[in-house]
Amino acid sequence: MERDNFSTVRSINQKLGHLLWKGVSKVLSVGPVPTHIAFIMNGNRRYEQNLNLVKGTGHRAGLQSMLTMLMHCCELGIKYVTVYAFSIDNFKRKPEEVKRVMDLLKFTFELLTEKSSIAHRYGIKFHFSGNLDLLSEHVLNAAKELMAKTTNYTKFVFTFCIAYTSTDEMVHAIQETCEERQCQMRELKRNGGDYEAEKPVKVVDIEKHMYMAIAPDPDIVVRTAGENRLSNFLLWQTANSDLYSTPTLWPEMNFWNLALAVLEFQRNHSYLEKKKKLL
């Protein structure tokens, strides 16, 4: 009986919270809304340690928070959402921790492919950015399945940055640009054409080969747990992004935290727009 009462109270609280967010999002929508918001999801392990929870609980709570944030972003009309899900450097952690996180990510990808998931409810296209060759076959297959199942959606785009660092992304893009230039030279040579050997490489030549070419540069980057650094995340794309840090741990993020981040973006919006026009 007590368990039933607890479930009922929790369900009522969730519904009330959802209604409250709808009201808050309508107010926020009066001002400029970010086109692209990126999250550095920090604090999962600290959350786990603070509450003396079983290992892995923090990451599970973090993924639930991620899905909740995604839902709130969709309801606010933020078209592009990107999360720093797993850095290449995270592979240096203990093998058992890496396995726990990867198994949890695989489970999440599989959950999102189901017809009743948030992906199909909101029309979200899922994309994966990073050196995906570093992923195990079963995780990579789950990611590919999720991308295939949502490839025709266009309303929202959610990007998992997994096996990702910005430096790796830049090296990848430069390598692809050089290979493309060499292919063009060989093709012209075969056809008897001339090629300008000194033709400079432009920024757009590199940017089209970036992992994150699928989305515009972020308007705002939100980092949780009180940290103020980017940690090798979207370094190329954030030259004109607003950076917002909150002391809240990622598993504890709620719509109020998102609302404060959007308000910060709105406060700085005119300055950032002027700065972009000067480029």
Report the distance separating Cα 195 and Cα 253, nearest Å: 54
Number of domains in the chain: 2
Domain boundary among 194, 210, 226: 210
The answer to the question of residue 20 being in a domain is no
Report the distance separating Cα 46 and Cα 44, nearest Å: 6
The answer to the question of residue 228 being in a domain is yes
Domain co-membership, 231 together with 146: yes
Report the distance separating Cα 34 and Cα 261, nearest Å: 10
Its sign, for the CA torsion 56, 57, 63, 65, is negative
pLDDT tens, per residue, the chain with 279 residues? 444 544 554 455 566 777 788 888 888 999 999 999 999 999 999 999 999 999 999 999 999 999 999 999 999 999 999 999 999 999 999 999 999 999 999 999 999 999 999 999 999 999 999 999 999 999 999 999 999 999 999 999 999 999 999 999 999 999 999 999 888 888 877 877 666 655 788 999 999 999 999 999 999 999 999 999 999 999 999 999 999 999 999 999 999 999 999 999 999 988 777 777 776
The confidence score (pLDDT) of residue 194 equals: 64
Domain co-membership, 139 together with 92: yes
The answer to the question of residue 26 being in a domain is no
Classify 12 as helix, strand or coil. helix
- Residue 117 near residue 102 (C-beta atoms within 8 A): no
Q: Find the CATH number of the domain harbouring 134.
A: 3.40.1180.10
What are the two backbone dihedrals, phi and then psi, of residue 170, each rounded to the nearest 5 degrees? -65, -45
- How many of the other CB atoms lie within 10 Å of CB of 245? 18
Domain co-membership, 244 together with 267: yes
The answer to the question of residue 24 being in a domain is no
Domain co-membership, 226 together with 272: yes
Domain co-membership, 74 together with 205: no
Domain co-membership, 203 together with 236: no
Domain boundary among 156, 187, 210: 210
Domain co-membership, 267 together with 145: yes
Q: pTM score, two decimals?
A: 0.91
Domain co-membership, 197 together with 253: no
The answer to the question of residue 7 being in a domain is no
The answer to the question of residue 15 being in a domain is no
The answer to the question of residue 4 being in a domain is no
What are the two backbone dihedrals, phi and then psi, of residue 151, each rounded to the nearest 5 degrees? -65, -25
Domain co-membership, 156 together with 194: no
The confidence score (pLDDT) of residue 2 equals: 47
Both tokens assigned to 144: 């590919």
What are the two backbone dihedrals, phi and then psi, of residue 50, each rounded to the nearest 5 degrees? -60, -35
Q: Which helix (H) or strand (E) holds 268?
A: helix 255-277
The confidence score (pLDDT) of residue 13 equals: 55
Domain boundary among 189, 210, 231: 210
> How does DSSP classify residue 117?
S
Domain co-membership, 65 together with 195: no
CA atoms within 13 A on the CB side of 114: 7
Report the distance separating Cα 212 and Cα 161, nearest Å: 9
Domain co-membership, 183 together with 151: no
Find the domain containing 183 and state its range.
Answer: 166-210
The answer to the question of residue 6 being in a domain is no
Domain co-membership, 46 together with 78: yes
